[in-house]
Amino acid sequence: MTRIDSIAETERLRLRKIRHDDFDSMMAVYGDLSAMRYVGDGTAISAEDCKRWIEITLSNYQTRGYGMFAVVLRESSQIVGFAGLVHPCKQREPELKYAYLSEFWGMGIATEAGRALLDYGRLEHGLSEIIATVDPSHRVSQNVLAKCGMTFREVRIDEGGTPTSVWGKRSPMDPRSSRP
């Protein structure tokens, strides 16, 4: 792995840019119905959608400088999931997203990567506010967001009538961060 691909490192993890050869790892995560339970419509990704997502991510690196990243264990170089900052449906605010192989749940990896991504967005891209959306019944993910320093903002109802909890974190450099 070249140093330029790595965007952040933590004690246990390396976050790096996604590559075409990550296809099988992406399918392992996003093709697992248990991992997708709270993602999108809850269905596994198709091979065609996975290929398209890789292309969109590579394009996002060019246009925004960030997107989704592979989350790799430093010790073994194994990809354990994917996390990043994205703008779904051309949303104005950058959004923290993540999904991991189920055998790595409960180890603090999502929190470790989430904190690194929030710092990366603020320090490298000047992002003053980052949000995350989560199913209101997904308590584990809400706990991850809280441990990352995000706070609950509101419940939004999407066009299909489905509620989504919105969490957020403002940069200390953002003057709005001192408001109640």
Residue 14 belongs to a domain = yes
Per-residue pLDDT, 1: 44
Residue 111 in any domain: the answer is: yes
Per-residue confidence (pLDDT) for residue 5, from 0 to 100: 83
Confidence band, pLDDT 50/70/90 cuts, at residue 171: confident
For residue 117, the enclosing domain spans 3-128
Q: What b/e sequence results for 72-110 when a residue is b if at least 16 CB atoms lie within 10 Å of its CB, and e otherwise? A: beeeeeebbbbbbbbeeeeeeebbbbbbbbeebeeeebb
* Domain membership flag for residue 148: no
179 belongs to a structural domain: no
Residue 5: what residue type? D
Task: Say how many domains are in the chain.
Answer: 1
Q: Is residue 144 part of a domain?
A: no
Name the residue among 160, 169, 52, 163 with its Cα closest to residue 114: 169
- pLDDT at position 71: 98
Q: Report if residue 81 sits inside a domain.
A: yes
CATH of the domain at 60: 3.40.630.30
Rounded to two decimals, what is the model's pTM?
A: 0.90
Give a yes or no: residue 16 inside a domain. Answer: yes
pLDDT band at 36, cuts 50/70/90?
confident
Tell whether 53 is covered by a domain. yes
d(CA 58, CA 156): 30
